[in-house]
Structure 1
């Protein structure tokens, strides 16, 4: 039996297949599905939201910019979309969005009208200029109803995910990009998007939920990570109230930033950003897709927001977008 186990393990390692369990389906309220991310993850969340606005009812953008900002160009991504927001032509990006819809590569703009958009930028952000997030506000103002956009631009924070009590000093650039700012961004964001949520009291103690590892390769088949950029495994937090499938739960997709995936931080982004604390109290399932770095095309382990997986990366046929959509469809039985 031991020999058989070792043989199977050897085959899995040799083929690159995940040994994690398949992602399961749950009872999800299809009107309560949202997404968010930090930095590269924020750009990815915007891409998911715009391309699949019929699925997502809201988005949280932390230190990220508007749709198609990078224009399939790494230099534009690291220039205009990070450090030089004066070079971002919002009107052009809005027109690109309309064209994407007209060609069938994004959902109809009418689905965006009643969506909620949460935008965050620390005043001291030295990685993604706060002006980039201002451009995201201008961009969404064209498509989303007045009052459905919330901006948090007054916290003296560096580049990173702001939390109540975890991370390095808020106004310092920390290596894990998680900042102790005495601000519950995860709650504030999810409360704005979904409404009527209970806020956690810190320290929270043991959470009423479970973090599960799942096989991401189910959603991109034979395309290895060198092609699609995703890791073999992802994570999902399932509140106890959602585990028995009797309760209709909300669903949130949380995208990590560069150098925040499992190979850099283990489960730190999954466990310390505050998503699970609010999720456990409010029956919100949170799925955390994971990227794997590639020294040639993606050395910092970022989600694709500039085109390393192909020029259609931001649309509904983008390789990572398609894979994550399939995860959502599996979880929510869509």
Structure 2
């Protein structure tokens, strides 16, 4: 690592060493937010996109399946990992009923939204046919094929993919970050997700100048929500200086929360370098383990209650409140 980059990393880590701050507020448009995730975070990202489609402009899905795949039951998770999952048309019909009841935003918003999907060919945790079902769900829901990017050729295991950091490409092991080569270069998944959602971006920063803020999640964590006491947000200098910024929510997978893997996800997943030069605040909310959630997963099957996939779900409300707070400054 170059000396300048090393010092920048030390500065970022030092920024998280003190007491957790309240979540700060910056300038921006809450209707330009986006979300992505790995594994349980990917299922959660799909839920969030569908439930808040009026304000969430795009989603990145790394090893995740269609909306409401588990049908509100832990027993339903097996089919949504190993396959075959429920039919996309059946799940869409359920989503339409939720929208009609006012529990999620109208599905008509999805026609203007953008989607990135990824399935590693060596991923035996969430099989490709499950991600195929997510792609079919979005198509049936009205997202044009031209607005869906789906990559499933890389020989990757169950992990978020980076150009150079983490385990070998085909691994499925903690911290669930793998480096893969594709077409002669490192596969930059975070950059591809953000470009698919937001279009052309400036090149990523080689030496980020922003800071990582460790903030208290307690004001957002309802009882039984399995949210950790603290989360993280990457703040580009431009955002701190008052320029308008967008929010991207990056959701870790099971056993990938900070209490388990430290800074691996929120420092090394690859989002911060792209965010730094493109006025994007990256929110890294964190789960923790509980009796109902022993692996620290996001709730995509109902352990927080029957509203888990709706706007009123405890985790869904928390994520939306955090994202809106970040761009709430006058």
* TM-score normalised by L of structure 1: 0.89
Q: Which residue of 2 aligns with 1:214?
A: 215
| d(CA) in 2 for partners of 1:41, 1:332 | 22
Q: Which residue of 2 aligns with 1:106?
A: 104
| d(CA) in 1 for partners of 2:29, 2:318 | 21
More displaced stretch, 234-243 vs 21-30: 21-30
**1:200 aligned to 199, 204, 222, which one?**
204
Q: Which residue of 1 aligns with 2:49?
A: 49
Aligned-pair distance for 1:316? 0.6
Q: Secondary structure at the match of 1:299?
A: coil
What is the aligned residue count? 306
| d(CA) in 2 for partners of 1:28, 1:219 | 20
| d(CA) in 1 for partners of 2:171, 2:319 | 32
| d(CA) in 2 for partners of 1:142, 1:240 | 40
| d(CA) in 2 for partners of 1:332, 1:87 | 37
Q: Secondary structure at the match of 1:193?
A: helix
**Is 1:119–2:117 an aligned residue pair?**
yes
Q: Secondary structure at the match of 1:228?
A: coil
Q: Which residue of 1 aligns with 2:140?
A: 142
Q: Which residue of 2 aligns with 1:179?
A: 178
Aligned-pair distance for 1:174? 2.2
Q: CA RMSD in A?
A: 1.4
- Superposed CA deviations along residues 73-98 of structure 1, whole A, max 9, x for unmatched, are 11211x110001x2422111000110
- Superposed CA deviations along residues 113-146 of structure 1, whole A, max 9, x for unmatched, are 1100100111110110011100000000012123
**2:235 aligned to 234, 238, 242, which one?**
238
Q: Which residue of 2 aligns with 1:8?
A: none
| d(CA) in 2 for partners of 1:87, 1:65 | 8
* TM-score normalised by L of structure 2: 0.90
**Is 1:265–2:261 an aligned residue pair?**
yes
Q: Which runs of 5+ in 2 are unaligned?
A: 1-17, 181-185
| d(CA) in 2 for partners of 1:146, 1:159 | 25
Q: Which residue of 2 aligns with 1:326?
A: 321
| d(CA) in 1 for partners of 2:268, 2:231 | 16
| d(CA) in 2 for partners of 1:228, 1:87 | 26
Distance 1:37 1:87, change over 3 A: closer
Q: Which runs of 5+ in 1 are unaligned?
A: 1-17
Q: Which residue of 1 aligns with 2:3?
A: none
Q: CA contact under 8 A between 1:32 and 1:194: conserved in structure 2? A: no
Q: Which residue of 2 aligns with 1:62?
A: 62
| d(CA) in 1 for partners of 2:209, 2:278 | 10
| d(CA) in 2 for partners of 1:107, 1:248 | 25
Q: Which residue of 1 aligns with 2:192?
A: 188
Aligned-pair distance for 1:19? 5.1
Runs of 4+ in 1 over 3 A off after TM superposition: none
| d(CA) in 2 for partners of 1:200, 1:214 | 25
Q: Secondary structure at the match of 2:116?
A: strand
| d(CA) in 1 for partners of 2:88, 2:265 | 31
Aligned-pair distance for 1:300? 0.6
Q: CA contact under 8 A between 1:187 and 1:199: conserved in structure 2? A: no
